[in-house]
Amino acid sequence: MKLIVDADACPVKDIIIEVGHSYQLPILMVCSYSHYSRPIAGVENIMVDNIAQAADMVIMNRVKAGDIVVTQDYGLASIVLAKGAMALHHTGKRYTTDNIDSLLFQRHVSAKVRRAGGKTKGPKPFTSEDKEKFRKVLIECCSQGRL
């Protein structure tokens, strides 16, 4: 089991590193060159070009059954689930085979509305409650993977 992070806009990297180290899990952060951050001990960083889906392609090619992937991207989450890995949103929402189809459909409908000139709601502000929920869910997933 390893933790793989779609790290460009991930606000919970510190929690992922803390929990990953406490469970002695390998951590892989994938981000574009424009989101470069300093190397962190015990974390493998992979830098990709600033082209659409570059980080997703790296993650898709490296994820294996049992891994945990943190991403905001529903499309990537659906592929991760199909490969037998767990997928988490940074707010603590766990993507599952029960909810991924409706999330993808909702994304599709929202994109159609925007293409037609309409407006859709953006994400809710990220809160400290979201951060703590994420920590709890990540710990549960790491514990589950160790059984």
CATH number for position 117: 3.40.50
Q: What is the DSSP string of 34-83?
A: GG-----TTEEEEEE-SSTTHHHHHHHHH--TT-EEE-S-HHHHHHHHHT
What is the pLDDT, as a whole number, of residue 147? 42
Q: Tell me the pTM.
A: 0.88
- Using DSSP's 3-state secondary structure scheme, residue 48 falls into strand
Residues 103, 22: Cα–Cα separation, whole Å: 32
Tens digit of each residue's pLDDT, the chain (147 residues): 999 999 988 999 999 999 999 999 999 999 987 766 777 888 999 999 988 889 999 999 999 999 999 999 999 999 999 999 999 999 999 999 998 878 877 876 777 778 888 887 777 889 999 999 999 999 999 998 654
Residues 33, 48: Cα–Cα separation, whole Å: 6
The residue written with tokens 């997703």 in the block is: 56
What is the pLDDT, as a whole number, of residue 33? 79
DSSP 25: -
Domain that holds residue 79: 3-145
Number of structural domains in the chain: 1
